[in-house]
Chains A and B, each alone.
Chain A
Amino acid sequence: MAEIVLDHVTKRFPDGALAVNDVNLTIADGEFVILVGPSGCGKSTTLNMIAGLEDISDGQLRIGGEVANDKTPRDRDIGMVFQNYALYPHMTVRENMAFSLKLAKENPEKIKERVDWAADILDLTAHLDRKPSQLSGGQRQRVAMGRVIVRTPNAFLMDEPLSNLDAKLRVQMRTEVSRLQKRLGTTTVYVTHDQVEAMTLGDRVAVMRGGEIQQVDRPEVLYETPINLFVAGCIGSPAMNFLAARAKGGVLQTPLGELKLPADRARGLDGGEREVIIGIRPEHFEDVSLVGDEKRDRGATVTAKIDLLESLGSDKFAYFTVQGERATAEHLQELAADAGTSDLGAAEEGVQVTARLDAGSQAAEDEELEIWIDLDKIHVFDPDSGENLTLADTARSNGSEAETTVQRAVPATAEDAERAEPEAKTE
Chain B
Amino acid sequence: MRSTPRQKIGWGIANVVVLVIAAVPVLWLVSLSFKDPSTLTDGSFYPKKWTFENYRGIFDQPLFTHALVNSIGIAIIATVLGVAFGAMAAYAVARLEFGGKQILIASALLIAMFPPIALVNPMFNLWRQIGLFDTWPGLIIPYMTFSLPLAIYTLSAFFREIPWDLERAAALDGATPLQAFRRVIVPLAAPGVFTTAILVFLYCWSDFVFAISLTSTNNARTVPAAIAFFTGASQFQQPTGSIAAAAVVITIPVAIVVLLFQRRIVAGLTAGAVKG
Contacts and interface: CB of A to CB of B under 8 A. Distances in A.
Contacts of A78: 172
A77 B187 CA distance: 25
Interface string A60-86: 000000000000111001111010111
Interface in A122-159: 131-135, 137, 140, 147
A88 B171 contact: no
B163 interface: yes
Interface string A156-179: 000000001000000000000000
B165 interface: yes
A131 B272 contact: yes
Contacts of A82: 165, 168-169
Which of A52, A89, A132, A147 is packed against the most chain B CB atoms within 10 Å? Answer: A89
Contacts of A26: none
A53 interface: yes
Contacts of A73: 168, 171-172, 174
Contacts of B60: none
B51 interface: no
A153 B154 CA distance: 39
Contact of A88 (B168, B176, B179, B273): B273
Contacts of A131: 272
Given A73-B171, A84-B163, A88-B166, A103 B275 contact: no
Contact of B172 (A80, A88, A104, A137): A80
User: What are the 9 A-B residue pairs with the smallest beta carbon separation, nearest first?
Assistant: A133-B272, A84-B274, A86-B165, A100-B173, A132-B272, A89-B273, A86-B169, A73-B171, A133-B271
9 contacts: A51-B168, A53-B171, A74-B175, A84-B163, A85-B273, A89-B188, A89-B269, A131-B272, A133-B271
Contacts of A90: 187-188, 269
Contact of B174 (A51, A74, A88, A134): A74
Contacts of A51: 168, 172
Nearest to B173: A100
A99 interface: yes
Contact of A104 (B169, B174, B187, B273): B174
Given A51-B168, A86-B166, 9 more contacts: A79-B172, A84-B165, A86-B169, A87-B169, A87-B274, A89-B271, A132-B272, A140-B275, A164-B275
A145 to B, nearest CB: 13
Nearest to A75: B174
A4 B173 CA distance: 19
A270 to B, nearest CB: 52
B44 interface: no
B274 A99 contact: no
B187 to A, nearest CB: 5
Which of B171, B175, B188, B272 has most chain A Cβ within 10 Å?
B272
Interface string A238-271: 0000000000000000000000000000000000
Contacts of A79: 172
Contacts of A133: 268, 271-272
B270 interface: yes
Given A51-B172, A53-B168, A79-B172, A86 B273 contact: yes
A51 B168 CA distance: 10
A99 to B, nearest CB: 5
A137 B179 CA distance: 28
A: contact size bracket: 20 to 34
B167 to A, nearest CB: 9
A343 B168 CA distance: 38
Contact of B273 (A52, A74, A103, A132): A132
A103 B172 contact: no
B275 A137 contact: yes
Contact of A86 (B168, B175, B179): B168
A135 B276 CA distance: 12
B248 interface: no
B255 to A, nearest CB: 29
A325 to B, nearest CB: 43
A89 B173 CA distance: 15
Interface of A: 51-53, 72-74, 77-80, 82, 84-90, 99-100, 103-104, 131-135, 137, 140, 147, 164
Interface string B155-172: 000000001011011111
Nearest to B169: A86
Nearest to A144: B169
A131 B266 CA distance: 15
Nearest to B187: A90
Contacts of A85: 273-275
Interface in B257-274: 268-274
Contact of B173 (A84, A103, A135): A103
A23 to B, nearest CB: 21
A103 B188 contact: no
Q: Chain A CB within 10 Å — which of B166, B183, B268, B274 has the most?
A: B274
A80 B168 CA distance: 9
B109 interface: no
A88 to B, nearest CB: 6
Contacts of A135: 272
Contacts of A77: 174
A134 B272 contact: yes
B273 to A, nearest CB: 4
B40 interface: no
A164 B171 CA distance: 23
Nearest to A99: B173
Contacts of B268: 133
A22 B255 CA distance: 63
Contact of A72 (B169, B171, B273): B171
A52 B177 CA distance: 13
A134 B273 CA distance: 11
Interface centre among B171, B172, B176, B269 (most CB of A within 10 A): B172
A164 B275 CA distance: 7
Nearest to A132: B272
A89 B272 contact: yes
Contacts of B275: 84-85, 137, 140, 164
Contacts of B169: 80, 82, 86-88, 147
A131 B187 CA distance: 14
